[in-house]
A and B are shown apart, each in its own frame.
Chain A
Amino acid sequence: DGGITQSPKYLFRKEGQNVTLSCEQNLNHDAMYWYRQDPGQGLRLIYYSQIVNDFQKGDIAEGYSVSREKKESFPLTVTSAQKNPTAFYLCASSIDGTGEQNIQYFGAGTRLSVL
């Protein structure tokens, strides 16, 4: 099936630990995105990538890092510098992020909790 796969579905982080959330897409989309959602809130953009080997900070990039070495993959690392990482993390992709090609398709999300 074509789509976006996020793993794991649930993740637990210990104090001072870095954790990496996986996002893979087989839609041949150039653009990929990471969002964070807190309970009862909308989505906030963490990082986005328009093309391989390029990415830009979103509204809340502090404490997070990403890489885009392959078109299909856009992993997000939640570092120990992120003091409040408990949230629902969503990955999305779009054809190229411009005009009507900006329709974004989302994965099922990863729920991260702190132990």
Chain B
Amino acid sequence: DAKTTQPPSMDCAEGRAANLPCNHSTISGNEYVYWYRQIHSQGPQYIIHGLKNNETNEMASLIITEDRKSSTLILPHATLRDTAVYYCIVSHDSGYSTLTFGKGTMLLVSP
């Protein structure tokens, strides 16, 4: 599976949009981009995933560049409860695949 690169930490003011970047320059054509988050001392939570097109759900939006070498997770109105470590993972869609969790980005949302 392709490797991802994320900034170790980011800050965001409550109520503002949080934009979390992820580089995956070696992604192949059949690999999905997944985002998870982990609130302190809890299990990770699935947020969103995409292949080529931008995706939106009730939690977040995922913007994938046309060349698919990078993506951005957008939390449109961050709250204090969004403070967590956010993981960007790529995983291929053909056959069985496990997920590789890196160190992620620690997002701190402040009042």
> How far in angstroms is the closest Cβ of chain A from B87?
7
Within 8 Å of chain B (Cβ to Cβ): is A74? no
- Interchain CB contact (< 8 A) of A106 among B32, B34, B44, B95: B44
* A85 on the B face (CB < 8 A): no
Given known pairs A33-B98, A42-B87, the reply for A100 and B42 (CB within 8 Å) is no
Contacts of B45 on A, CB cut-off 8 Å?
Answer: 106
Interface residue A63 (Cβ < 8 Å from any Cβ of B):
no
Interface bin, chain A: 20 to 34
Please name all residues of chain B whose beta carbon is closer than 8 Å to the beta carbon of A111 when the two chains form the complex: 41
Chain B min CB distance to A86 (Å): 15
**Cβ of A100: which chain B residues have Cβ within 8 Å of it?**
32, 49, 93
Query: Does A64 have its Cβ within 8 Å of any Cβ on chain B?
Result: no
What is the CB-to-nearest-CB distance from B60 to chain A, in angstroms, rounded to a whole number?
A: 14
Complex-state Cα separation, A111 to B42, whole angstroms? 11
Among A41, A48, A106, A111, residue most surrounded by chain B Cβ atoms (within 10 Å): A106
Cβ < 8 Å to A, chain B residues 17-43: 32, 34, 36, 41-43
Binding site for B on A (CB under 8 A): 4, 33, 35, 40-45, 48, 50, 58, 88, 90, 92, 97-100, 102-109, 111
